[in-house]
């Protein structure tokens, strides 16, 4: 008996005996068998089920022997799902019809009454064909998406300011090389996005991109995480384990927050970069590695070198090229573009009908200092989308936690939205000595809106 894989089969024939015989036999070998007498039900069945093979009668009662109905429904099936294997069955088969059916897209042709072994082998081949077609479809879609990603300028790195254009130019020049890159910038500026853009546009783009957050690794685990260990190398080493360098070999290793690497481990990192070899803890056997190294930090790394907190020779090794990301406050012309991008994302995610941001709302965002940079803007837009009832985002939809150039960022013990709003309004009134017009302008509110909120929170002038 031919072995068969799991699958979902649809049998369409106007003869109940044929349907019963096919189902009784095939259900022993496949996951599920559906039967249907009326071919008119085919479109609805295929659209609502994930069939792998359709066994289709060529001749129904309206057209006993010409096969026209079978050809008609074969076309309909392949219009709905071109990857689906269709096997035509008929009692009046001949070579001419078989050839025509295959040319039209049928997978095979079976005469009835069939031999069970022949039917099973035919269905087996059809299942394999459907699986292969669908795998090819997936690969084509992946290739199409990959090509689109490469053709698209820099995907999630959004900006058209002079500062960002300089970053794009550097990425373009550096990506195809294997030069070590150090990305610097404040938290939330998009350092990982730049690292991924470098990887995507490199010759290693089809290999692994390994992201290691150095700030999230306990100090006693750094060496094990980076270089791996052998079984029994230390108390909890119950089995051998490859480190991030080994796993990333052939691709890109991104060490985020490199400034957190303990001073005593820096020589080992330097050695790995220079020799392109590492050794697992507990082993004396060197392992060759082939990585493209990208590092990032929000620390003043030059100051760390001066303070002997970071080795100068290691810094030279990791920053063959340095890419400095500007804070959002230095590229305010990108704020409308970023805000629109996040608005589009979150209106889809939360199924909200919000069209855009008002001009006063954009002005409020442009005035803000953004201590958390792009990440803070992203969270601000998400919060506004969730909380608003407006179809256009207004200034009052954005609760921002610092007031301007001269005000330090406020820290809240309680992030209840009403408490945050009350505190922000009180700070604005204090800053402008109770002047309603200036406070309203600072907050991006109308005088009437500010009065309503003052009344709500008991902040009477």
Q: Which residues fall within 8 angstroms of residue 264, CB to CB, at 6 or more apart?
A: none
* Confidence (pLDDT) at 50: 84
Measured distance CA(407)–CA(7) in Å, rounded: 66
CA proximity to 159, closest of 333, 327, 296, 381: 333
For residue 169, give the 3-state DSSP assignment: helix
What's the CA angle centered on 108, arms 103 and 111, to 5 degrees?
Answer: 120
Q: Residue 1 — very low, low, confident or very high, per pLDDT cuts 50/70/90?
A: very low
* Confidence (pLDDT) at 425: 87
Window from 51-60, 181-190, 327-336, 385-394 with minimum mean pLDDT: 51-60
Query: Which residues make beta-bridge pairs with 316?
Result: none
Q: Which long-range contacts (CB under 8 A, 24 or more apart) does 103-108 make?
A: 104/71, 104/74, 104/75, 104/78, 105/74, 105/75, 105/78, 106/74, 107/53
| pLDDT per position as a tens digit, 378-428 | 999 999 999 998 899 999 999 886 544 444 455 555 556 777 788 888 888
User: For domain 162-326, which architecture applies?
Assistant: 3-Layer(aba) Sandwich (3.40)
Q: Residue 461 — very low, low, confident or very high, per pLDDT cuts 50/70/90?
A: low
* Confidence (pLDDT) at 99: 76
* Confidence (pLDDT) at 350: 93
CB-CB neighbours of 86 under 10 Å: 26
Measured distance CA(337)–CA(362) in Å, rounded: 10
Mean pLDDT of 158-177: 94
* Confidence (pLDDT) at 366: 94
Window from 51-60, 389-398, 432-441 with minimum mean pLDDT: 432-441
User: For domain 8-142, which architecture applies?
Assistant: 3-Layer(aba) Sandwich (3.40)
Where exactly are the structural domains of the chain?
8-142, 162-326, 329-457
Domain 329-457 in the same topology as domain 162-326:
no
- Percentage of the chain surpassing pLDDT 70? 89
- The CATH number of 329-457 is 1.10.8.60
The answer to whether the bond into 113 is cis (omega within 30° of 0) is yes
Q: Residue 71 — very low, low, confident or very high, per pLDDT cuts 50/70/90?
A: confident
Q: How would you list the strands of the sheet with 181-184, edge to edge? A: 209-213, 252-256, 292-297, 181-184, 321-324
């Amino acid at each position: 008996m031919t072995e068969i894989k799991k699958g979902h089969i649809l049998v369409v024939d106007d003869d109940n005996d044929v349907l019963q015989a096919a189902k009784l036999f095939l259900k022993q070998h496949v996951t599920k068998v559906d039967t249907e007498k009326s071919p008119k039900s085919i479109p609805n069945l295929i659209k609502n089920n994930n069939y792998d093979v359709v066994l289709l009668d060529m001749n129904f009662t309206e057209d006993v022997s010409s096969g026209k109905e079978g050809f008609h429904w074969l076309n309909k099936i392949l219009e709905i799902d071109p990857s689906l294997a269709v096997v035509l069955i008929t009692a009046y088969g001949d070579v001419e019809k078989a050839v025509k059916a295959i040319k039209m897209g049928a997978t095979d042709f079976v005469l009835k009454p069939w031999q069970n072994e022949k039917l099973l082998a035919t269905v087996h081949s059809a299942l394999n064909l459907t699986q292969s077609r669908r795998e090819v479809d997936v690969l084509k879609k992946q290739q199409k998406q990959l090509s689109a990603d490469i053709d698209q300028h820099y995907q999630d790195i959004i900006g058209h300011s002079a500062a960002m254009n300089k970053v794009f130019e550097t990425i373009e020049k550096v990506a195809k090389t294997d030069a070590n890159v150090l990305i610097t910038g404040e938290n939330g500026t998009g350092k990982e996005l730049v690292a991924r853009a470098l990887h995507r546009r490199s010759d290693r783009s089809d290999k692994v991109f390994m992201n290691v957050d150095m700030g999230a690794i306990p100090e006693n685990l750094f060496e094990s995480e980076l270089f791996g260990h052998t079984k029994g190398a230390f108390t909890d080493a119950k089995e051998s384990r490859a480190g991030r360098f080994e796993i990333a070999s052939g691709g890109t290793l991104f060490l985020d927050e490199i400034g957190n690497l303990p001073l005593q481990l820096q020589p080992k990192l330097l050695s790995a970069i220079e020799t392109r070899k590492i050794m697992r803890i507990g082993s004396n056997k060197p392992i060759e590695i082939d990585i493209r190294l990208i590092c990032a930090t929000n620390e003043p790394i030059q100051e760390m070198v001066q303070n002997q907190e970071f080795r100068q020779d290691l810094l030279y090794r990791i920053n063959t090229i340095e890419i400095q990301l500007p804070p959002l406050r230095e590229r305010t012309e990108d704020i409308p573009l970023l805000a629109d991008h996040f608005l589009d994302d979150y209106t889809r995610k939360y199924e909200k009908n919000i069209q855009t941001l008002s001009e006063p709302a954009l002005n409020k965002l442009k005035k803000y200092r953004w201590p958390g940079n792009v990440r803070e803007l992203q969270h601000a837009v998400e919060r506004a989308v969730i909380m608003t009832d407006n179809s256009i985002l207004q200034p009052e939809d954005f609760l921002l936690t610092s007031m301007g150039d001269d005000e330090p960022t406020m820290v809240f013990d309680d992030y209840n939205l009403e408490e945050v709003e009350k505190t922000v309004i009180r700070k604005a009134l204090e800053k402008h000595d109770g002047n309603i017009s200036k406070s309203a302008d600072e907050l991006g509110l109308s005088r009437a809106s500010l009065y309503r909120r003052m009344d709500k929170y008991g902040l009477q002038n």
